[in-house]
Structure 1
């Protein structure tokens, strides 16, 4: 007999295409996840996942079960939301997904939320832009925080806070402390960049293209902490969200180069699928975000 728990676990495996990563997300052991998926396959009488080499793939029956699982679990979430509304804010759940650069800002705001509404269970997922948009497409969360809302997604959204993008370097860099550094003076510098497709990378490339400059990319890294470490190690300079390097800048381990045209002023946006009826908890968290706008 198929259980809701099996569907929840299978949905995570199907999304991650990895038993290990699904186990990490669900706080389960990898064998426990594998066993639940195997039992689900026995229950439906079809192989749902196949392994080719080291990669997992969904079978055609797997696609069918995944679509049904999303519908069933989504309806359960809607039931929980309606019940939470009947109870007021005494109980409920809030699920927020954020791009990695927002993880320095959102926890503080979630702290304010949890103090006001201690009965609400909060789930925070951090990922890169591509992962966040995949979760958005699957309607897995209540709210999504990202730097820019892409034109290609059908979303309702609010702009809620500034997110300045700055050039960082070591205090020993020749341009450190210099006023009015021209963009052309960065030509030939080795850059440590975020991965292709990240909001910061897009904003950086757009700026340099406007200046007629093609920056030399020495290294691409997918985490802001790794970028800060690489810059502190003298491997190059970088363009990064000021908030993500806040501590290093305050401690003097990094400095902000005073480049003309920087900071690039961007904003954080909170979004959700267009037409979605968001929960009472999500509405309350939106209120906290927009209060500081």
Structure 2
């Protein structure tokens, strides 16, 4: 048999996603390229690895066993690479993070210098909603998670990174004036994030505390989708300032001043209290604690200035 590591990597991703299309997206390959590599791997076995019923792809029992073997082989290859780099005096290994979707505007800046300094580190980054982030942490699938709302039933330690402020946002044609009370939220069509979103959790907690009855215009599954809906004039949303910088500069959205807003929270990097850090995870935490003030000053000065302007 002459199967390649590339074929095993693709097949493993197919078994994880149960879809050639999704596997191609996650591997940043074309769908035909993934299909060809699956066929080339299949040609080396007399027993089917997968089968298609209707339009759904299924992994056979034999294919599932090959996937387990492929995962072990690829893990050993990673280990060889890490050991080679370690002998060269480099910090090596995987750094695994899960990040709430709005955290994608924050986390790259806290990773950039660290990864440049330690090029033997492989980053595994999952950007998803709060519910999935907490699930991955609870299952010990990641080293750290970035959240703005701490989990209720999970024992974690945390280091604070920077403030997170959520404002009421409308499209460019929005007319607003200072002095509006929170009751304005009952008069507007509000666009919600999906269940499990940290932004939605913070917003609903605020609405409940003030006994506000809000008309839900629609529910969307990402901050980007909400932003585009607001730009299109489909409604209003409570959104984190960190995620609308360019749209504010370009005049595509406006912040509507409301007494009682912004909603304030803090981005936190959290980890399980019982977590035994790898050398890579320990080095990253030290980097955060030493460098976060400098990073915030260099990369997020616009945020501090904009907040000061809004609150003036």
Deviations 1:62-92 (A, max 9, x none): 5555555555545655665566555443665
Shift, 1:199, TM fit: 1.2
Structure 2 distance, partners of 1:287, 1:234, is: 44
CA distance in 1, matches of 2:41, 2:273: 33
Map 1:162-201 onto structure 2 (within 5 A): 162-170=163-171, 172-174=173-175, 176-179=176-179, 181-201=180-200
Kindly tell me: are residues 254 and 216 of structure 1, through their superposed partners in 2, closer, same or farther at Cα, counting changes over 3 Å? same
C-alpha spacing 1:288/1:77, structure 2 compared with 1 (3 Å): same
Which structure ranks higher in relative contact order (CA pairs < 8 Å, sequence separation ≥ 6)? 1
TM-score normalised by L of structure 1: 0.77
Cα distance in 2, alignment partners of residues 42 and 134 from structure 1: 38
Distance in 2 (alpha carbons) for counterparts of 1:89 and 1:95: 18
Runs of 5+ in structure 2 lacking a partner? 294-312
> Does residue 284 of structure 1 match 2:283?
yes
Q: Give distance in 2, aligned partners of 1:151 and 1:47.
A: 46
* C-alpha displacement of 1:185: 2.2
Structure 1 residue 238: Cα displacement: 0.2
Q: Secondary structure at the match of 1:109?
A: helix
Give the Cα separation in 1 of the matches to 2:96 and 2:210.
40
Q: Determine if contact 1:165/1:262 at 8 Å carries over to the other structure.
A: yes
Give the superposed CA RMSD.
3.7
What residue in structure 1 maps to residue 246 of structure 2?
Answer: 247
Pair 88,108 (structure 1): closer, same or farther in 2 beyond 3 Å: same
Alpha-carbon distance in 1 for matches of 2:168, 2:159? 27
**In terms of Rg, which structure is larger?**
2
Residues in 1 aligned to 2:114 and 2:166: alpha-carbon distance in whole angstroms: 27
Shift of 1:239: 1.0
TM-score (norm 2): 0.73
Aligned-partner Cα distance in 2 for 1:273–1:204: 26
Task: Return 198-207 or 260-269, whichever deviates more.
Answer: 260-269
What is aligned with 1:117?
A: 118
SS in 1 for 2:244: helix
